[in-house]
Amino acid sequence: MSLSETPAPLERGAGPDGPAAALAEPTRKVTARWVTGLVLVNVGINAAFFGPINVFIGQQAISIDEPSKEAILSLATACGAAVSLVANPLFGALSDRTTSRFGRRSPWVLAGAVLATAALLAMSGATTVALMVLFWSLVQLGANAAYAAITAAVPDRVPVPQRGKVGGLAAMGQTLGILTGAVFGAVVSGNFVVGYWLCAAALLLSVLPYLFHRNDPVLPGGVLPRFRLLGFLRGFWISPRLYPDFAWAWLTRFLVNVGNQLTIVYLLFFLRDILNYGDPAAGVLVLTGIYALMVMITAVVAGPWSDRAGKRKPFVIGSSAINAMAGMIMAFFPVWPGALAGAAVLGIGFGAYLAVDFALLTQVLPQAVDRGKDMGVINVANSLPQVVAPFLAFVAVTHWGGYQSLFLIAAAIGLLGAVFVVKIKGVR
């Protein structure tokens, strides 16, 4: 893959069939085959993320030092998420300038998937905390390179009136990935080594359909200005004063994701230590299955519904409030039926949120030439909660009153996300 380095005016060939077709605003609807490839990439990446986060890292932590399992899980997930904070916008920005004959996004999807696959295989053999943290950070590096590229492909190729529908299907893919990780966790019966291998295979295989039918226009050299390191680095700052809608959209996504992560980060330990559930990994699978079903139903309904209505904000506000209700249920009903109800409510709210908020975000991007970088900055609002939430969860569980405090904090933060959506003015 190569980066454009030759100066040229941005407007040259800006039409859909010109040499800068990669930068044009999309007008043609994407095909079902392309959307299927997009969905499958999301399945693989999220299986690679959440199988380890929800089950395998916790099991591996128990095998290394059971009394310190919460601290090990929090350390590993937080360090990996810290890597993703840099990786996602960095690889998004690099893909913006990539002039490969295979397109801008596809090379990074492939390279990222290969790196993450290799790191998952290496992690299966880690016997120390240091190696766990190292290999999980490499998983995050590779998977975020692929995720940054596949996310940027949506505003590249999908016209605005179709984005709610595609966002809903992408959310369905994310949820299927989370469910796949939970299935792996249940079927391997505590053998996290096999679990990591299954996640690695799922990730690598998931990118192939997209790569064979990528519809990824080539960006010729000479379309973008010459690469300059200082300007490249400065580009990661997006002024809230100049682009307030982008800033508010970022903040609301961050808050809602913090609330969601707080609800699920210690789910395995909650079932094991508070509910005394006989098979915590199987319990995670049941709860994830209920959550996944609700997410898929509401995502594929709410996304197209928002397209037809021509509105995004009411859906985002309502779904954020529903997410907060899930935390309250888990806080006040710490029994197995309460966990089942909490999973269902969280799925209902988060499915609609994922579909519609994604479409909203693509409509507040500052510039077409920086879609990958800007979506990468947005994706920091997905990654940063993985740093913040484990720390907050550890403090809440060990010092602030236990799991009830954890779930109430999750609900309060999620409600703030609903409140700040009203600040966005450029999208209805």
At residue 20, the pLDDT reads 61
As a whole number of angstroms, the distance between CA 91 and CA 113 comes to 13
Q: Residues of the chain with pLDDT > 90: what percent? A: 47
Q: Report residue 3: phi and psi, to 5°.
A: -115, 140
What mean pLDDT value characterizes the chain? 87
Q: How confident is the model at residue 4 (pLDDT cuts 50, 70, 90)?
A: very low
CA 104 to each of CA 35, 91, 328, 414: distance values in angstroms, whole numbers, following the listed order: 18, 11, 44, 35
Average pLDDT over residues 64-86: 88
Of the pLDDT bands very low, low, confident and very high (cuts 50, 70, 90), residue 14 is: very low
Q: Are 89 and 68 in contact (CB under 8 A)?
A: no
Q: Rounded CA gap, 22 and 30, in Å?
A: 14
pLDDT at 322: 92
Q: Which class for 114: exposed (0-12), middle (13-18), buried (19 or more C-beta within 10 A)?
A: middle
CA dihedral 254, 260, 265, 268 (to 10 degrees): -170
**Cα end-to-end distance, the chain, whole Å:** 39
As given in the structure block, the two tokens for residue 368 are 């077409």
Under the banding of pLDDT at 50, 70 and 90, the label for residue 142 is: very high
pLDDT (mean) for 78-102 = 90
Rounded (10°) CA dihedral 285, 288, 294, 296: -90
DSSP per residue, 10-22: TTTT-STTSTTGG
Q: What is the pLDDT of residues 174-206, one digit of tens each?
A: 888 988 988 898 888 789 999 999 999 999 999
1.20.1250.20, 1.10.10.350, 3.40.50.2300, 3.40.190.10: which CATH number matches 27-423? 1.20.1250.20
Whether pLDDT at 426 is above 80: no
Amino acid, single-letter form, for residue 58: G
pLDDT score at 185: 86
Most confident of 53-57, 136-140, 154-158, 248-252: 136-140
Answer yes or no: is pLDDT of 333 > 60. yes
The pLDDT of residue 85: 86
* Whole-number pLDDT of residue 414: 86
Token look-up 């080594």 returns: 193
pLDDT for the residue 15: 42
pLDDT at 251: 93
Average of per-residue pLDDT across 8-24: 49
The answer to whether 346 touches 355, Cβ cutoff 8 Å, is no
Q: Can you tell me which residue has the tokens 């010092």? A: 399
Q: Are 55 and 281 in contact (CB under 8 A)?
A: yes
Spell out the domain ranges in the chain: 27-423
Among 9-18, 35-44, 179-188, 310-319, which is the least confidently predicted range?
Answer: 9-18
For 262-282, write each residue's pLDDT tens digit.
Answer: 988 888 889 998 999 988 888
9: pLDDT strictly greater than 70 = no
Instruction: Answer whether residue 217 shows pLDDT above 80.
Output: yes
What pTM, to 2 d.p., does this model score? 0.79
pLDDT of res. 403: 92
DSSP state of 271: I
Q: Which residue has the higher pLDDT, 277 or 116?
A: 116
pLDDT tens column, 374-383: 888 888 888 7
Compute the distance between CA of residue 124 and CA of residue 87 in angstroms, rounded to an integer.
Answer: 23
